[in-house]
């Protein structure tokens, strides 16, 4: 009874094909990292665009005030609008220092220190002390230049 040992062999059983899922644990970390990176980039982009719009609207508002100055001689109204714009920007950028409560010389010192200049206490910005006095503004363009420079530094 000799039997052929090769006849007793069965066909080879191939393993199942390798599936993509479940992924190895490292791939889950990579996927989560990519999602977090995309979320962070989206958040940063939204903040940047919002900041750019805010700066553009402030500069546009200053330009409107400047154009109103060229068409009228209402010095008191012009100075009041510039002072309001400066207070709003200062309140937004420096809420912990409460600049909305500053008036007179401390207000000008705050503008100088935050804008890294001396143009408010010693230069053309000093006219902001005369907001409610009916004096004609000698050089409104100098005031606008000082305000623009302050906005550029602060924003």
Q: What are the percentages of helix, strand and coil residues in the chain, rounded to 5?
A: 70, 0, 30
Q: How confident is the model at residue 74 (pLDDT cuts 50, 70, 90)?
A: low
Using alpha carbons only, what angle is made at residue 20 by residues 16 and 25, rounded to the nearest 5 degrees?
120
- Does residue 101 carry a pLDDT above 70? yes
- Does residue 38 carry a pLDDT above 70? yes
Q: Please give the pLDDT value at position 2.
A: 64
Q: Please give the pLDDT value at position 71.
A: 57
**pTM to 2 decimal places:** 0.74
Q: Please name the residues in contact with 97: beta carbons below 8 A apart, sequence gap of 6 or more.
A: 110
Q: Please give the pLDDT value at position 79.
A: 87
**What's the whole-number mean pLDDT along residues 22-51?**
95
């Amino acid at each position: 009874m000799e039997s052929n040992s090769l006849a007793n062999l069965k066909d080879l059983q191939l393993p199942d094909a390798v599936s993509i899922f479940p992924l190895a644990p490292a791939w889950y970390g990579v996927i989560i990292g990519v999602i977090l990176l995309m979320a962070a980039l989206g958040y940063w982009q939204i903040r940047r665009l919002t900041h750019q719009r805010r700066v553009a609207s402030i500069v546009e508002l200053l330009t409107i005030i400047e154009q109103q100055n060229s068409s009228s001689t209402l010095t008191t109204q012009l100075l009041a609008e510039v002072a309001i714009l400066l207070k709003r920007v200062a309140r937004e950028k420096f809420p912990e220092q409460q600049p909305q409560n500053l008036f007179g010389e401390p207000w000008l010192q705050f503008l100088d220190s935050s804008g890294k200049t001396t143009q408010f206490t010693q230069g053309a910005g000093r006219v902001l002390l005369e907001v409610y006095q009916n004096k004609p503004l000698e050089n409104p363009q100098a005031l606008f230049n000082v305000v623009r420079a302050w906005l550029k530094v602060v924003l």
